[in-house]
Amino acid sequence: MNNRDNPSNRNTLTPEIILKAYTTGIFPMAEHRRDPELFWVDPKMRGILPLDGFHVPRSLKRRIRQNPYEMRYDYDFEAVIDACAKSTSDRQETWINREIIGLYTELFYMGYVHSVECWSKGILVGGLYGLSMRGVFFGESMFSRERDASKIALVYLVARLIFGHFVLLDTQFVTRHLKQFGALEIPREKYHELLEDALSIDAKFYREVPVEDEEEALSRLLQSRTHTS
């Protein structure tokens, strides 16, 4: 399936169809944020971030230890996805249209979609969102309005996924931004194998254990071997 197969629209798509699609390895996108139609994507080469090989650059570790932002989860998801949909100087166009916003907001209230947010003085300055299912987290988009905000959100996401026993972080594609953390491309067939295994794992984005355990997961990431930066 390529990027142009099976165009769809809001009259036929439901949150349940979206969930089923993810289990088969496909996901929806729009050509641009003003395009009312969606299409299914199943890349020949899939981007993933190996959780057991996640790299945090040394300079970013120092920044995180300074606690520059207040970290929140699922506090203002709608503001996060709206920010991800907006154009910026570094990103002139996005693939998040009104249909995507509507569908993923429904999935958020159903408990499948989550956001990791960076706040500064009561203002949302960066974050990301994605869809959580069994042992896989499907990363969707991120944004940053202040220094390192999206990068820090990603590090906190990975700590939470490790803490919650996830085994697969799907990034869909690999960007220069993600390569510094160890993102790599794998063939579609290999991705489907990893996906099948991950869907058999009973992982949880929220675990009912002391928060200190999650802090320990973050601490392990910050103490691991680094790339110079």
Does 8 fall in a domain?
no
The answer to whether position 228 is within a domain reads no
Residues with Cβ within 8 Å of residue 154, at least 6 apart in sequence: 116, 128, 142, 181
Residue 229 falls inside a structural domain: no
pLDDT tens for the chain, 229 residues long, are 344 444 454 457 999 999 999 999 999 999 887 888 899 999 999 999 999 999 999 999 999 999 999 999 999 999 999 999 997 767 667 889 999 999 999 999 999 999 999 999 999 999 999 999 999 999 999 999 999 999 999 999 999 999 899 999 999 999 988 999 999 999 999 999 999 999 999 999 987 655 556 677 788 778 765 443 3
Classify residue 208: in a domain, yes or no: yes
Residue 22 φ then ψ, to 5°: -60, -35
Give me the pLDDT at residue 220, please: 77
CA within 13 Å, CB half, 176: 1
- Domain containing residue 175: 15-223
Within 10 angstroms of residue 46's Cβ, the number of other Cβ atoms is: 23
Give the sign of the dihedral formed by CA 132, CA 80, CA 83, CA 180.
negative
Give me the number of domains the chain comprises. Answer: 1
* Rounded-to-integer distance, Cα 119 and Cα 4, Å: 37
Q: Is 194 helix (H, G, I), strand (E, B) or coil?
A: helix
The domain that contains 52 carries what CATH number? 3.40.630.70
CA gap 184, 190 in Å, rounded? 12
* Phi–psi pair at 193, nearest 5 degrees: -65, -45
Q: What's residue 55's pLDDT?
A: 92
pLDDT score, position 38: 93
